[in-house]
Amino acid sequence: MFLNKYQYYFVVILIILIGGCSQHPEPVLDQSVKQIVENDQEPNPEALKHFMDAQLYLSQNNYPMAIIELQDALRLDPTVSSIHVSLGEALWKLGKVDRAEDHLQSALSLDVNDIDARKMLADQYIIRHLYDKAVEQFDALHKIEPDVAEHIIAKAELASARLQWDRAIQLYREAYEIDKSMIVALEKATELALRSNKLQTARELYGQLVKIDGRNVEYLSAYADLIIMEERYDEATEIIDKIMEIEGNNKDRLFQSGIIFYQKGQLTYALEFFIKAYNADNQDVHILHFISTVYFELDQPDSGKVFAVKLIELDPEDPRGFINSALAEMNKNQFQEAVNILLAVVDTFKSEYAIQYLLGNAFYQQKNNEEALIFLNRALNISPNSRNVLHTLAIIHDAMLLWAKSDSLYENLINSDSTDAQAYNNYAYSLVERDERLEFALQIAMQAITLAPKNAAYLDTYGWILFKLGKNDDALNYIQHSIELENTNGVVLEHLGDVLMRVNRKNDALEYYRKAFEFDNNNDTLKYKAFPE
């Protein structure tokens, strides 16, 4: 920064005063300052005296006296920008906002490159919320000092304060490119990217930070979290290994590793890491939840419930413990046990979708449709677009012969997602069981097969509609294909028996009726078909 003649002489006099009368070498001064002094007219001595007195008053916060001295200095030497800058400072401290700005603008009219004037103006504009004017000053400062990153950082902070996330992130990155020591600028850019949910940008920035400091655990951990979201599991695993090399195994890193393997579907490895994390801290509800969940997915519901119960005991206000306990019972087809668990807390967690949905589903599995509807509708109120709830409600209304309601639900499902094969199939099967709109039923059943050509249930539905339409050979092909894919469904086996009986293959029909009866031995109609004599 260049010193004008008043600032220069003020500094020199201070050096003399501090040094006293002892002999000292002459201070080494910036060549540009020397050149200004040599080429410039010497300051008015009286004006300089007033200016120096004003500086002392300013240091003592005696702003009225400083203003008097500065006005005298300005009267004697009106061409010095630093007098205007000091006046601007003193007037601002006394709340004379407009007059302060006038003097700072006067300083710039005398010296367009007066850095102090521009910084002071920018600060005052920020305080007055005149952000665009502040930015103009920082733009000018950047032109004067293009290698000073702080001016760009100031603009970035203004953009951030105005919620201009993209602009702020860009400016912080520019500041770092100007001064590679300003790592804090990259950190702030990353923080903003995360806050504004710009995850790809955050990942790029953390990748850059990791290259700068590859042993910074905070950088490495955040970067691992972000690339896990992109399913870059192998790379994330390497980073977690590096973190554990740096700081040793700890609960958080073990848990993070477990999450990686869980996301990859490698459940056994995930469970191993979660158990290690649990051994390090058996009071962490998140670890308990994931251990319980993994056990369910490994088809070990009893072990899953052990940890679900631990979660409940640790934090009864966390719904996940009750959800996981109920799931453990439902996985064992113990639906009444699930009902008992959930009914005890269903009103406590009125806004918890999973509690309401699971309770409704448990009642549905018990064929208690009236109770099921109560809780499924609660779940729907919490999550109006839940397709799981809509599907279950459609099936229940169909079973209750409330077809206007079930048809409406199926049409809603189809219209909102043209790839919902289950909705097409279930709607078609409902229609064929009612012997209604069979041509339309055939059309939407074909849509289900097109979307999922190897689904045994969908092939059976299409074949069954063909059978109802009298197209026996085609029906036989589709239902046989269904049984080739899955031969444990009693309804499909009975359907094949009906088709075979119609085409006069009685013995073959009896064989499939009897196979069907093995899976549904409480069905009197099927028993009569399988054993007619």
Q: How many residues does the chain have?
A: 533
Q: 29-38, 42-51, 490-499: which has the highest mean pLDDT? A: 490-499
> Residue 226: pLDDT above 90?
no
Encode 326-371 in three state secondary structure. Answer: HHHHHHCCCHHHHHHHHHCCCCCCCCCHHHHHHHHHHHHHCCCHHH
Place of tokens 């196979």: 515
* 42-56, 281-295, 479-493: segment of lowest average pLDDT: 42-56
CB 120 within 8 A of CB 93: no
Q: Is the dihedral of CA 371, 372, 378, 384 positive or negative?
A: negative
Token pair listed for 438:
């069979």
Query: What pLDDT shows up at residue 401?
Result: 94
Considering only residues 238 and 390, tell me which one the structure prediction assigns the higher pLDDT: 390
Q: Is the dihedral of CA 149, 150, 153, 159 positive or negative?
A: negative
Query: What pLDDT shows up at residue 471?
Result: 94
pLDDT band at 47; cut points 50, 70, 90: confident
pLDDT band at 31; cut points 50, 70, 90: very low
Class of domain 418-533: mainly alpha
* 31-40, 353-362, 455-464: segment of lowest average pLDDT: 31-40
Query: What pLDDT shows up at residue 338?
Result: 94
Mean pLDDT value across residues 177-182: 90
Over residues 99-151, the pLDDT tens digits come to 988 988 988 888 899 888 889 998 888 888 898 998 898 899 999 999 999 98
Token pair listed for 442:
């055939």
Considering only residues 182 and 22, tell me which one the structure prediction assigns the higher pLDDT: 182
> Residue 21: pLDDT above 50?
no
> Residue 288: pLDDT above 70?
yes
Torsion angle (degrees, nearest 10) of CA 35, 41, 46, 52: -20
Which residues, 6 or more positions from 404, have their beta carbon under 8 angstroms from its beta carbon?
none
Q: 53: closest CA among 112, 105, 88, 10? A: 10
Token pair listed for 277:
């994390």
Over residues 65-85, the pLDDT tens digits come to 988 988 988 888 888 888 899
With 0-12 / 13-18 / 19 or more C-beta atoms within 10 angstroms meaning exposed / middle / buried, residue 347 is exposed
User: What angle (nearest 5°) sits at the alpha carbon of residue 483, between those of residues 479 and 485?
Assistant: 120
Query: What pLDDT shows up at residue 233?
Result: 78
CATH of 1-128, one of 1.10.1060.10, 3.40.50.1000, 1.25.40.10, 1.20.120.10: 1.25.40.10
Query: What pLDDT shows up at residue 358?
Result: 95
Place of tokens 């040094």: 19
Show the beta-strand stretches assigned E in 382-497.
Answer: none
User: What angle (nearest 5°) sits at the alpha carbon of residue 191, between those of residues 189 and 194?
Assistant: 110
CB 490 within 8 A of CB 517: yes
pLDDT band at 422; cut points 50, 70, 90: very high
pLDDT band at 365; cut points 50, 70, 90: very high
With 0-12 / 13-18 / 19 or more C-beta atoms within 10 angstroms meaning exposed / middle / buried, residue 42 is exposed
Query: What pLDDT shows up at residue 20?
Result: 44
> Residue 23: pLDDT above 80?
no
* Helix or strand run (H / E) with residue 221: helix 217-229
Query: What pLDDT shows up at residue 18?
Result: 39
> Residue 264: pLDDT above 50?
yes
pTM for the structure as a whole: 0.58
Query: What pLDDT shows up at residue 54?
Result: 85
Considering only residues 442 and 10, tell me which one the structure prediction assigns the higher pLDDT: 442
Query: For residue 34, how far is the Cα from the chain centroid?
Result: 58
* Helix or strand run (H / E) with residue 464: helix 456-468
Mean pLDDT value across residues 164-170: 90
Neighbours of 216 (CB within 10 A): 17
Average per-residue pLDDT for the chain: 86
Q: How far is 184 from 262, CA to CA, in rounded Å?
A: 34
Question: What residue ranges of the chain are covered by domains with CATH 1.25.40.10?
Answer: 1-128, 418-533
Q: 31-35, 192-196, 218-222, 358-362: which has the highest mean pLDDT? A: 358-362
Q: How far is 433 from 411, CA to CA, in rounded Å?
A: 17
Query: What pLDDT shows up at residue 24?
Result: 37
**Buried-state track 415-434, b at ≥16 Cβ within 10 A, e below 16:** eeeeebbbbbbbbbbbbbee
* 69-73, 338-342, 378-382: segment of lowest average pLDDT: 69-73
Q: How far is 326 from 149, CA to CA, in rounded Å?
A: 58
Query: What pLDDT shows up at residue 39?
Result: 36
> Residue 156: pLDDT above 80?
yes
Q: 38-47, 328-337, 514-523: which has the highest mean pLDDT? A: 328-337
> Residue 38: pLDDT above 60?
no
Which residues, 6 or more positions from 219, have their beta carbon under 8 angstroms from its beta carbon?
206, 209, 210, 213
Which residues, 6 or more positions from 394, have their beta carbon under 8 angstroms from its beta carbon?
406, 409, 410, 413, 423, 426, 427
* 62-71, 256-265, 328-337, 402-411: segment of lowest average pLDDT: 256-265
Query: For residue 203, how far is the Cα from the chain centroid?
Result: 13
**Phi-psi bin for 20: left (phi > 0), alpha (psi -120 to 50), beta?**
left
- Continuous H helices in 251-318: 251-264, 267-280, 285-297, 301-314
Name all contacts of 495-501 with Cβ < 8 Å and 24+ positions apart. Answer: 495/460, 495/463, 495/464, 495/467, 497/529, 498/467, 499/463, 499/467, 499/472, 499/475, 500/476
Query: What pLDDT shows up at residue 41?
Result: 54
Share of the chain above pLDDT 90, in %: 46
Torsion angle (degrees, nearest 10) of CA 490, 493, 495, 497: -130
* 34-43, 50-59, 211-220, 473-482: segment of lowest average pLDDT: 34-43
Encode 67-123 in three state secondary structure. Answer: HHHHHHHHHHCCCCHHHHHHHHHHHHHCCCHHHHHHHHHHHHHHCCCCHHHHHHHHH
Mean pLDDT value across residues 165-180: 91
Mean pLDDT value across residues 350-364: 94
Token pair listed for 172:
């912080």
Considering only residues 256 and 443, tell me which one the structure prediction assigns the higher pLDDT: 443
Token pair listed for 499:
């088709």
- For 236, the 3-state DSSP assignment is helix
pLDDT band at 230; cut points 50, 70, 90: confident
